[in-house]
Amino acid sequence: MRFFSDNAAAAHPKVIEAIERSNRLDTAYDGDEWSGRLDGAFSELFETQVRALWVSTGTAANCLALASLCPPYRGILCHRDAHIEVDEAGAPGFFTGGAKLMLLDGPGAKIAPDTVEAAIGLIRKDVHQVQPAAISITNATEYGLAYRTPEVAALGEVARRHGLGFHMDGARFANAVATTGDSPADITWRAGIDALSFGFVKNGGLNAEALILFRTELADEVAVRRKRAGHLSSKGRMLAAQILALLEDDLWLDNARSANAAARVLAEAAPDRLVHPVEANEIFLRATPLEAAALQAQGFDFYDWAPGEIRLVTSWDQKGEPIEMLAAAIRAL
């Protein structure tokens, strides 16, 4: 059983069905009927007028957003362990034309308003030092913690005060919403978010992510950048159809709840081993190499995150017996 990454899980059957149903001749690119319904569907979900563009990867969603919020000669404040810094091969530098990621510390890969303020305070306001243009946070974070609405709003205040754009990498946005119960609107634009990478691939999708622009005036530029980055699929209807299938009847939330629930089962099996609180679908456990090997010997697959630490990630389709078996195995260590 693989607990390596939700990245690698199967797509939900309804997603595959949606692809099949959309597999007929229509207008190319995003001129089709499915793509045409995205703005409306997300505007309803977020209780405000948004523009929504499909892309095929989270890296593309993140970096298109960042490029629209930060010119080449400025910087983006983010956590030192943010995915955009650590795991996107320098894509933000590519998409922005060389903007700088300005790295901040904070437990659980969260950043706090005073950390951001302190970092800004250290920058001389002259042409020699790179000035920030945006803040980017990940929700749920790379360590599986969820920002609550007031936390996001406090960062939104800092952003507003300094004239900075505010981006949320929501590769696991569904897991964060599922665990906090906060409304999608509250935890994003009402808290100051300008652009959200709304992840579906880790949550039952196949290869469709949505870039949600609360500042709708950015959309035309982002659409050009999407094409220019080779991300305007000619049969984009298949991407839109996946997203619509996951939005229907809140399947995206059900999937996330399912993955979160599985993670909680595992967390409860080893409360003393937890490196971080388990709020989404990632579990970071202290485990010796021997213990890790013992789990692997039983057929459980995961990531050796750091010396003495392993990472387990649950997916929307992992529930019941396999989870119980892993929980038992952890308990038995």
Residues at the site binding its own copies, with contacts judged by CB under 8 A: 2, 4-5, 7-11, 16, 19-20, 23-29, 55-57, 59-61, 63, 71-75, 86-91, 93-100, 127-131, 201-202, 206-207, 221, 223-235, 238-239, 315
Measured distance between the N- and C-terminal CA atoms of the chain, rounded to whole angstroms: 18
- Judge contact between 140 and 82, C-beta under 8 A: no
Based on CB atoms, which residue is closest to its own copies, 82 or 152?
82
Q: How far is the CB of 267 from its own copies (least distance, A)?
A: 22
Report the C-alpha gap between 12 and 68 in whole angstroms. 32
The phi, psi pair for 150, rounded to 5°, reads: -65, -30
Based on CB atoms, which residue is closest to its own copies, 217 or 272?
217
The phi, psi pair for 294, rounded to 5°, reads: -65, -45
E-strand ranges in the chain read 51-55, 75-79, 100-104, 132-138, 165-170, 195-198, 209-213, 282-286, 303-306, 309-313
Residue 126: Cβ within 10 Å count: 7
Report the C-alpha gap between 37 and 210 in whole angstroms. 13
Based on CB atoms, which residue is closest to its own copies, 71 or 113?
71
* Residue 133 tokens, joined: 């243009």
- Parallel, antiparallel or unpaired: strands 209-213 and 195-198: antiparallel
* Residue 171 tokens, joined: 């590769």
Give the largest Cα separation in the chain, rounded: 60
Residues β-bridged to residue 167? 136, 195
Q: What is the DSSP string of 50-64?
A: -EEEEES-HHHHHHH
Q: Which among 312, 304, 268, 296 has a CA at the least distance from the CA of 144?
A: 312
Q: How far is the CB of 8 from its own copies (least distance, A)?
A: 4
Q: What is the DSSP string of 296-323?
A: HHTT-B-EEEETTEEEEE--TT--SHHH
- Judge contact between 94 and 231, C-beta under 8 A: no
Based on CB atoms, which residue is closest to its own copies, 46 or 198?
198
